[in-house]
Amino acid sequence: MNIKDIIQQPEGRRLEFKQELPATADLAKTIVAFANDAGGDLYIGFQNNPRELVGIPEADLMKVEEQLASLIHAHCTPIIVPEISLHAEDGIHFIRVQIHRGSDFPYHLKSKGKQDGTYIRIGSTNRLADQSIIEELERRKRNVSFDSEPVYGKSPEDFNINIFRTQFQELTGEKQDEGALKKLGLIKELQGVILPTNALVLFADFESRKELFPYSKIECARFKGITTDTKIDDKTINEQIGLQPAEALRFIQRHVDQGSVIQGVYTKGRWEYPMDAIREALRNAVVHRDYSLTGKDIKVAIYDDMVEITSPGTLPPSIDFQEMEARQSDIRNKVIAPIFKHMGVIDQWGNGLKIMASELRTYPEIEFKWFEKGLHFQVQFIKKNYQPEVVQVVDIESIGKELGAILGLSWDQVGTKSAPSQHQVGTKSALSWHQVEDLLSLTETTKSIKELMERLARKDRTKFRAKYITPLLELELLQMTIPDKPNSSKQQYYLTEKGRKFLDFIKNTPVQ
C-alpha cells in the first residue's frame, strides 16, 4: 500500500476518507454500502479540502479500532467482518478499514431493517436502496440473474421472436425448437407449465414486449456543438436487443467522418473515432445493462467533440475500467450474454475491454473516459484537439438577394410593414418569404423531404428538391444528414448555423 498514491485518488465507489471516527449511522451506511457492492476501503485520519494526512493520536489508536469493530458488529447485518489495520506514515498514524464484497445480500442497518436500511454505493455517496435494487441484491445472493427469471401469467406464444429466430439461425445455423429455447434459458418449465423468461421477452419485437419493457431501447441523438441545445437528428432503436448494437453503430457512423490513410501501397478508410472500440462499448451497453431498472434506456449522444454512450446499471463489481488490458468478465445477464456470444455478437469472455484498449492506442487523438453517474455507466470518446467552429459572420442581405433571385422574390419587400400581396403569400408554383420562413423553421429539427412537402402542400418531389432544397443547400442554409449519399431514402435535412441566423432575421422582420 502506497499511501502517497492513494491520498491522491478521489473518493468514489470503493474509497472514502474521514478525519475522525464517523457518527455511528454514517459509518454503518458506508460499511453496508461497500459490502453490498464491490467492497471498499475507509481511511481514518485524513482531512479533505485539501486532502492530507492529519493522523490519529497514537494513544487513541487501540480505542478507535475497538470502537470500529464494535459499531460494525452492533449496527450491520448480516455479519460483516472488516479488516482493520493500523498504519503510520512519517510518524503520523492512521487506520484502514477494509470491507470485502459480501455474498449474503442484502446487507443493511439492524435498526432499520432490510426495506429501510439497505444502502448501496453510488459514486462517493451512500444511497438508500429501493425495492428493485433490494430484489437485485437478493438475486445476486441466489446467483440468479434478472433475465433468467420466469414471467408468470404469460406464455412464450405471447411474444413474437420471429426476427430473433431468423438472426440466430443465420449466425449459428441452428433452429430453435422448444428444446433449444430451454437450453438457451429463454423458456422454463415450472410444475408442468412452460413460461417465458425475461430474456425471451427482451429478444421479442417491441410491440409484444413494450408492456413489460417499454424502455428496452436505445435513444440516439446528434447535437450541434458541444451541448444538447440544438438537436439535428435522432433515432429510437427499439428492435429486439440482438439487433440494437449494430443499428446504433450505423447511426453513429452516419454522423462522423471517415477519412483515409496510406498503408503501404493501399489506401484504407479511417474513421475519426475508433469504431471497433465504440462497437464494443455499444455491445457492452446492451448485453450488460440492468434491465430490472425501470424508466431508463440506453442513450447515445454525438456532439461535435465526442461520442457518449450511457447504459442503465452500475459497473459490475469485479470490473475495473482502469485495468482495460486485463481479461475481465462479470456477467450480469446470464442468459442474454451467452446467447450474444453464441451468435458471435460478442467476443470470448473478458476480451471486450482488451479490444477497446488495443484500438484506443491507435487513436492518440481520442481520449477515453468512463463514469458511474447515479445508477448509470457512461463512456466518452473525446477529441483531444477539438476546436469549436469560428463564429461565422453572415451577410443576411447578400443571402436574401441571392435566394430571392432564385425563388423569384424581391428582397426589397423584406423589412416593410405592408400586408403581404398574393405573390408574397405564395402560389402553387412559387414560395413566399413567409413559406421560406416556414420551411426553415421546420428544419430546426431534422425533416425528410416528404415531411417538408406535406407541410408546404407540394406534390412534385423532383421539382421541390430542385427549386427549393438544392438552393438552400448550395447557400449553406440547410445540411443533409447523409451528405455522402444525397439520394438516400433515409435522407433528412436540418438547419445550419448560417441558416439559423438567416431564419432569426426574417422571423423578426416584417415582410410585405
Kindly list the distances between the CA atom of residue 482 and the CA atoms of 164, 250, 490, 494, in Å, as whole numbers in the listed order: 29, 12, 8, 11
pLDDT of residue 512: 53
pTM of the shown model: 0.74
> Does residue 46 carry a pLDDT above 50?
yes
pLDDT of residue 417: 38
pLDDT of residue 330: 67
Higher pLDDT, 109 or 329: 109
pLDDT tens figures, 303-321: 999 999 999 998 776 565 5
Tell me the average pLDDT across 24-36. 95
User: Nearest 5°: phi and psi at 504?
Assistant: -60, -35
> Does residue 260 carry a pLDDT above 80?
no
The H or E element that residue 378 is part of is strand 376-383
Return d(Cα 273, Cα 253) in angstroms, integer.
9
Predicted confidence band at 425 (pLDDT cuts at 50, 70, 90)? Answer: very low
> Does residue 265 carry a pLDDT above 60?
no
> Does residue 16 carry a pLDDT above 90?
yes
For the chain, domains (ranges, CATH) are 3-130 (3.30.950.30), 146-209 (no CATH), 218-383 (3.30.565.60), 396-507 (1.10.10)
> Does residue 414 carry a pLDDT above 80?
no
Kindly list the distances between the CA atom of residue 256 and the CA atoms of 110, 361, 433, 483, 490, in Å, as whole numbers in the listed order: 53, 20, 34, 11, 16
**Directed axis angle between helix 352-361 and helix 275-287, to 10°?**
160
